[in-house]
């Protein structure tokens, strides 16, 4: 097992969990054995993801915002970069919400299975339904009021207040930028180190992912053995993949309209970075290759690529944001919850802001999903429904993240007059629109 890549270990854990669940469902008392002796390990794994959510947001966001100190020299470029990244993320989340509301993958679950799911998580489900109901009765500006915490310690004490934590982290990061560097450096160095520790903790948590998946799948099978649940998961996966494909098309269209570069030119230029992103599931690990391809093969001047791409690896997670929107609504559908338009707008805001603090490492998207679920009042226990197929989807959404970074770098370079011809020879002139 030690020599296998993590995603293979997770897939093996998933398969063994399903087999154990089917086996234990076939004889009397098997369900109770799994619930008492296997499921707790899955619960521990989910709790560890929830545990790391607030520290990850604080560390990543404060570091990400404070790293924009160069914006004093490149304020125009920095403003364009952040604005375009936020706009593309909003598009991604919106596409995800539209698709999941049209396809309704969670509605393919029968009422019998849904009743069993709600029964297994009845305490959590009722609590979140009550919270969702109270949100529907709130005034039109209540979401704005709720955004600003009156006590950051209290806000950080519950994952459902994550937007308040995000607000504080951004506010704190801006404060770091505005004070003299001599005074901000010790604080920034602390949060840089703090962020590295949190990322290492995520690495350690993900080492337990195969065992967590094994426990979660075994429990899911014995508690809800209906095949329609797996049919719904198939529809969910297809919805996410179709949304990610639409985002790739969206990027190609943006590049074509605003830079005049043909799709073949763009895709040939960025494809090696996309393949590496698919294999590593990490925008950060792919960053050196992305920078080389964007500069050498897409014609973006190094002054722009070296500024825009590292920021993108930190704050631009379009694929992850799309997936979070689809996953959140799918889980709500699976539990028979009707999310209002206001709650779904909250998902847009939370997923967009959470993507800014999402670490560019494998598994961070699942941590961010905890934030989105909690903010929308959706049972976090629903993570058990989707975690088994998360790794393959993680590989695909990282491709979208990296492609989005390259797209924005080309758009910014075009507006700055820094987009030229590729720095490699023998490129087909037909790639460029005359």
- Rounded (5°) CA angle 140-146-149: 160
Cα gap 249→266, rounded to integer Å: 11
Q: Is 323 left (phi over 0), alpha (psi -120 to 50) or beta?
A: alpha
Task: Assess contact for 330 and 100: CB atoms under 8 A.
Answer: yes
Cα gap 359→368, rounded to integer Å: 9
Topology, domain 6-431: 1.10.3860
Cα gap 394→406, rounded to integer Å: 19
pLDDT of residue 116: 66
Per the listing, tokens 């539209």 go with 98
Domain boundaries, the chain: 6-431
DSSP character string of 266-302: HHHHHHHHHHHHHHH--HHHHHHHHHHHHHHTT-B-H
Q: What is the CA radius of gyration of the chain?
A: 22
Cα gap 322→342, rounded to integer Å: 18
CA 418 to chain centre: 31
Cα gap 408→27, rounded to integer Å: 56
Cα gap 59→69, rounded to integer Å: 16
Distances (CA, A) of 425 to 85, 268, 408: 31, 14, 24
Q: Is 179 left (phi over 0), alpha (psi -120 to 50) or beta?
A: beta
If residue 413 lies in a helix (H) or strand (E), which one and from where to where?
Answer: helix 390-416
Q: Given CA atoms 408, 409, 415, 420 in this order, what sign does their dihedral have?
A: negative
The per-residue pLDDT for range 147-183, each reduced to its tens digit, is 788 888 887 776 556 667 777 887 888 888 888 888 9
> Residue 201: CB partners within 8 Å, gap ≥ 6?
52, 55
The per-residue pLDDT for range 26-41, each reduced to its tens digit, is 888 888 899 899 989 9
Task: Assess contact for 302 and 423: CB atoms under 8 A.
Answer: no
Cα gap 67→311, rounded to integer Å: 8
Taking 3-state DSSP, the helix, strand and coil percentages for the chain, each rounded to the nearest 5, stand at 80, 0, 15
Q: Is 104 left (phi over 0), alpha (psi -120 to 50) or beta?
A: left
φ, ψ dihedrals at 261, nearest 5°? -90, 135
In order along its 434 residues, the chain shows pLDDT tens digits of 457 766 678 778 878 988 998 898 888 888 889 989 998 998 887 778 778 767 877 887 787 677 765 555 446 677 788 889 889 988 998 999 999 999 988 877 777 766 666 665 544 444 444 544 554 455 555 656 777 888 888 877 765 566 677 778 878 888 888 888 889 899 989 988 998 888 788 778 778 878 887 887 788 778 764 667 778 888 999 999 999 999 999 999 999 999 999 999 999 889 888 887 886 677 766 777 888 889 888 988 877 887 788 777 767 788 888 988 898 888 888 877 777 777 787 777 777 776 665 555 555 666 677 777 777 777 766 776 776 677 678 878 889 999 999 999 999 999 888 787 776 644 444 434 43
Cα gap 194→101, rounded to integer Å: 39
pTM score, whole prediction: 0.66
DSSP label of 161: G
Query: What is residue 432's three-state secondary structure?
Result: strand
């Amino acid at each position: 097992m030690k020599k296998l890549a993590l995603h293979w270990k997770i897939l093996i854990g998933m398969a063994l969990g399903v087999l154990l669940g089917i086996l234990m469902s076939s004889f009397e008392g098997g369900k109770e054995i799994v619930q008492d002796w296997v499921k707790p390990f899955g619960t521990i794994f989910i709790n560890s993801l929830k545990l790391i959510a607030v520290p990850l947001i604080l560390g990543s966001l404060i570091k990400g915002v404070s790293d924009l100190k160069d914006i004093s020299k490149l304020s125009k470029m920095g403003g364009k970069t952040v604005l375009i990244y936020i706009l593309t993320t909003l598009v991604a989340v919106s596409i995800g919400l539209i698709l999941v509301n049209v396809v309704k993958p969670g509605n393919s679950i029968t009422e019998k299975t849904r009743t069993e799911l709600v029964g297994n998580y009845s305490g959590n489900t009722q609590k979140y339904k009550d919270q969702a109901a109270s949100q529907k009765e709130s005034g039109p500006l209540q979401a704005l009021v709720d955004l600003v915490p009156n006590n950051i310690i209290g806000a950080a004490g519950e994952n459902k207040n994550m937007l308040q934590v995000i607000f504080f982290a951004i506010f704190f990061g801006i404060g770091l930028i505005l004070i003299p560097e001599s005074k901000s450096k010790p604080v920034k160095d602390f949060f840089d180190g703090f962020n590295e520790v949190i990322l290492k903790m995520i690495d350690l948590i993900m080492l337990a992912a195969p065992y967590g998946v094994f426990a979660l799948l075994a429990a899911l099978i014995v508690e809800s053995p209906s095949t329609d649940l797996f049919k719904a998961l198939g529809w969910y996966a297809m919805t996410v993949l179709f949304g990610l494909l639409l985002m790739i098309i969206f990027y190609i269209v943006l590049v074509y309209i605003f830079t005049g570069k043909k799709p073949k030119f763009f895709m040939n230029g960025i494809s090696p970075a996309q393949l590496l992103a698919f294999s590593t599931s990490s925008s950060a690990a792919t960053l050196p290759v992305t920078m080389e391809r964007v500069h050498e093969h897409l014609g973006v001047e190094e002054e722009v690529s070296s500024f825009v791409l590292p920021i993108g690896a930190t704050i631009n997670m379009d694929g992850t944001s799309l997936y979070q929107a689809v996953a959140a609504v799918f889980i709500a559908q699976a539990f028979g919850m009707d999310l209002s338009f206001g709650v779904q707008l909250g998902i847009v805001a939370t997923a967009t802001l959470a993507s800014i603090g999402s670490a560019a490492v494998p598994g961070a998207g699942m941590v961010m999903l905890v934030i989105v679920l909690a903010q929308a009042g959706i049972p976090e226990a629903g993570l058990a429904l989707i975690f088994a197929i998360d790794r393959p989807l993680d590989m695909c959404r990282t491709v979208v993240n990296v492609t989005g970074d390259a797209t924005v770098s080309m758009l910014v370079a075009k507006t700055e007059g820094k987009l030229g011809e590729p720095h490699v020879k023998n490129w087909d002139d037909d790639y460029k629109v005359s």
